[in-house]
Amino acid sequence: MGIINNKTSLLFTFLVIVVLLIGMTIYKVSEIHLQRSFTVTEKRIIEGAQACVWSDVCKESRITLGTLINLGYAKEEVNPKTKMYYSHESYVEIKDNTYTFVAV
């Protein structure tokens, strides 16, 4: 009877470890994918703002997404986490030749 309990507890421990490893791996991979999706979306918006500034159409230090869309430098973008469109009040801030996207 002691051998059966030892085998059962060993098997149970092994299964718990495998499930934890697989679960943590899936979680980490999904987090990396989400972060990369944010990076790609923000980069597209920032590239539109850069093109607008370089063509001397946008001269402000804060350019809203709505302005970029109206001028044709960007399109509607979806937030990868919420699956909803970014607000047109979201903006790209230009400071010391650095472009930063801020979602509102």
Q: What is the pLDDT of residues 3-51, one digit of tens each?
A: 668 888 899 999 999 999 999 999 999 999 999 999 999 999 999 999 9
Strands (E), 4-68: 62-64
Identify any residues that bridge with 63 across adjacent strands, giving them in sequence order: 92
Q: Is the dihedral of CA 25, 30, 31, 37 positive or negative?
A: positive
Claim: this prediction has a pTM higher than 0.85: no
Q: And the tokens for 91?
A: 């903006």
Distance from the Cα of residue 76 to its chain's centroid: 16
The helix (run of H) or strand (run of E) holding residue 100 is strand 98-102
